[in-house]
Amino acid sequence: MEADEVFTVRIEEIAAGGAGLARRGGKPVFVEGSAPGELVICRLAEEHRSWARGELLEIAEASPDRVKPLCGLYGICGGCNLQHIRYGAQLAAKAAILSTAFERIGGFSPPEPALFPSAPWEYRNRMQFHRIKAKPQSPTRRRGAGKGDGGNGGAFGLKARKSLSVVPVTDCPVADPGIREALRQAAGGGAAFSPPPETDRFTVYSRGGLFLSEGGKRRGQVRLLDRSISLDAGLFFQSNGDMLEQLISGLRDLAAGGNTGKGMADLYCGVGTFACFLGDLFPKTDLVEKNKSALALARENFSKSGAAAEFFALSGDGWAALKNGKASAQPYGFIVVDPPRQGLSPSLSAWLAAKGAPLLAYVSCDPATLARDGGILRRGGYELAELRLYDFYPQTAHIESLAVFRK
């Protein structure tokens, strides 16, 4: 294909990342903003030896799954990239992406994913915003500063699509109602946000009347199911509370079916959310987290249960080294892992494959690394018994899943 060439293709499916996938002369072509089944006219924007990217110019035949985006900033803001597709079709596309990752990367076919849908709007409890610094003003104008900028010297926004620039945002339909109200107040001149002065980027959390923000009130307790969990706006916490409750319920049912006569381990435990709901099923729980601030909160949260626990400020590699160095290490009846996007470290994957519990729950935020690690676990004697897709992030291509491995 020649640079800037215009061509017509049929979109086959949604690929990982959210772009539509078509083929031209056998070569995959990725077209953002398209929907499955559509006939689209594109301009060649980028070409490589094995794939190409097309810029959408016109939709010649629209998909029945195409809908009008709810947000006026869609396509400009970088937060969402599937708002143009009906929610049910989004779920189907994500399930296909998850299954395909196992086939292409893991080297085996997984069970059909069970789907756990979310409320498609106003679901996001945790968001990161950027402060947009105001332009210099004259001394006369500066005396009246504060009106319309929350008294913070500028507006707030989100990163633009495929750009380092920041898009001013006064509302966001996927945000929790508390965050939407704070954005509206800030746009009207209120001081709803109090970002830390040393940074232009800050995180907020809102759920059930609780509102936390870096630079303001950072610490608080959120109610999940029948318990209160302490969290800090500056530390990672799942961004969809309703889906988190569904995931916790699912994990507790799974854990109860494990060997509850032995201990359990919560690896990459964060502030200890999973362990707080599962630990009372086992005689002892090991919580492992390299972020010492998060681990301190995990200790605080787990202490409320009164169950026995031990805490380890270690990375995945550090934990594997520790366990490999103990010839008489106590076996576990259940292990839950919730690694970052990079997945399990190589040494931890190897340790789990060789010495992991008979029942292993793998919570994943990236199908590719889950499939890679799943292949390692499978070669170590595990079977992928169940696969679930919990849709934590509707309107986006992000995929959260739970893989259940049994020896």
Tens of pLDDT, residues 222-272? 999 999 999 999 999 999 999 999 999 999 999 999 999 999 999 999 999
**pTM to 2 decimal places:** 0.92
Strands of 263-267's sheet in order across: 114-116, 383-390, 400-406, 359-364, 332-337, 263-267, 285-288, 309-312
CA distances (Å), origin 406, targets 104, 108, 248, 277, 353:
22, 16, 19, 21, 11
Q: Which residues are 47's β-sheet partners? A: 52
Residue 265 CA to residue 309 CA, distance in Å, equals 9
Range 315-326 average pLDDT: 90
Helix (H, G, I), strand (E, B) or coil at 198: coil
In the predicted structure, residue 13 carries a pLDDT above the cut 70: yes
Topology (CATH level 3) of domain 95-120+240-406: Rossmann fold (3.40.50)
Q: Please give the structure tokens belonging to residue 374.
A: 């799943």
Q: What percent of the chain has pLDDT over 70?
A: 93
Residue 319 CA to residue 311 CA, distance in Å, equals 11
What pLDDT score does 194 carry?
78
Helix (H, G, I), strand (E, B) or coil at 104: helix
CA distances (Å), origin 16, targets 31, 47, 58, 316:
12, 18, 22, 26
CB atoms within 10 A of CB 60: 12
Q: For residue 134, name the pLDDT band (cuts at 50, 70, 90).
A: low
Q: Please give the structure tokens belonging to residue 67.
A: 């809908």
Per DSSP bridges, beta strands 210-213 and 201-207 are: antiparallel
Residue 366 CA to residue 363 CA, distance in Å, equals 9
Q: Please give the structure tokens belonging to residue 21.
A: 């996938």
Residue 41 CA to residue 116 CA, distance in Å, equals 34
Q: What percent of the chain has pLDDT over 90?
A: 83
In the predicted structure, residue 67 carries a pLDDT above the cut 80: yes
Q: Which residue has the tokens 């020649």?
A: 2
What pLDDT score does 32 carry?
96
Q: For residue 189, name the pLDDT band (cuts at 50, 70, 90).
A: confident
In the predicted structure, residue 107 carries a pLDDT above the cut 60: yes
For domain 6-66, the CATH class is mainly beta
**Among positive and negative, which fits the CA dihedral 369, 373, 378, 379?**
positive
Range 344-360 average pLDDT: 95
287 within 8 A of 272, measured Cβ to Cβ: yes
Q: Please give the structure tokens belonging to residue 6.
A: 């215009």
Torsion of Cα atoms, 394 then 397 then 398 then 404, to 10°: 90
List the domain boundaries for the chain. Answer: 6-66, 95-120+240-406, 126-225
Q: Please give the structure tokens belonging to residue 130.
A: 């950027």
pLDDT tens digits along 274-293: 999 999 999 999 999 999 99
Residue 338 CA to residue 22 CA, distance in Å, equals 33
Output helix, strand, coil percentages for the chain, rounded to the nearest 5.
Answer: 25, 30, 45
In the predicted structure, residue 395 carries a pLDDT above the cut 60: yes
Per DSSP bridges, beta strands 359-364 and 20-24 are: unpaired
Residue 95 CA to residue 100 CA, distance in Å, equals 9
